[in-house]
Amino acid sequence: MARFTGGSSVPGGYYWNPRHGTMTPVTDPGGTLPGKPTDRYVRVHWLVALLAAPLLGGLFVVLLPFIGLAMMVRYAFERITGQARAGARDLAATVTPGWRPGEVHLTGRSVDGTPEELHGGGAGESALKDVADEIAHKRSGGKKD
């Protein structure tokens, strides 16, 4: 059997990676195997690949209940030891938005308060009244009242 490494140019055919248990088809002559140069591949005859597919599928069907039980035991262990909670907290921190609409940001003030407190220094009610008075003053020709 011919052995190849990942990233090398190979003739068309089927290549098996024993470390990962994956079968990789290469359709073009001179195609490239996926992976790093440390990945090893073995060229497999098409007939062997054809016969191995149902055998591996049957093995998966037979082992599927045991895989499910192993996953359940692992979940129970993580739940008991609290590792699931830490993972959920990390996931929640990842998907939670960093802002919520309606909040005041970059002002250094709390959302709770009067409009004057929230907009002090520029856009509160008194500031709008001052602007209105200034406009009225300029429209009257700059005469003082």
Residues with pLDDT less than 50, the chain: 119-122
- Within-domain flag for 105: no
Long-range contacts of 19-26 (CB under 8 A, 24+ apart): 23/49, 23/52, 23/53
Count of domains forming the chain: 3
28 Cβ contact partners less than 8 Å away, ≥ 6 residues apart: 12
The residues pairing with 44 across neighbouring beta strands, listed in sequence order, are: 14
> Can you give the pLDDT at residue 103?
61
**Radius of gyration of the chain, Cα coordinates, nearest whole angstrom:** 35
Same domain, residue pair 3 and 37 = yes
Beta strands in the chain (DSSP E): 3-5, 9-10, 13-17, 22-26, 31-32, 40-44
Residues 4, 33, single domain; the answer is yes
> Is 124 contained in some domain?
yes
Angstrom CA distances, 10 to 34, 75, 85, 87, 95, stand at: 11, 43, 47, 42, 43
| Model confidence pLDDT, tens digit, residues 78-101 | 888 777 677 778 887 777 666 666
Q: What is the pLDDT of residue 144?
A: 58
What confidence score (pLDDT) does residue 121 get? Answer: 47
66 vs 60: CA distance, rounded Å: 10
Asked whether residue 144 is domain-assigned, the answer is no
In a domain, 16, yes or no: yes
Q: What is the dihedral of CA 68, 70, 71, 75, to 10 degrees?
A: 140
Domain that holds residue 24: 1-44
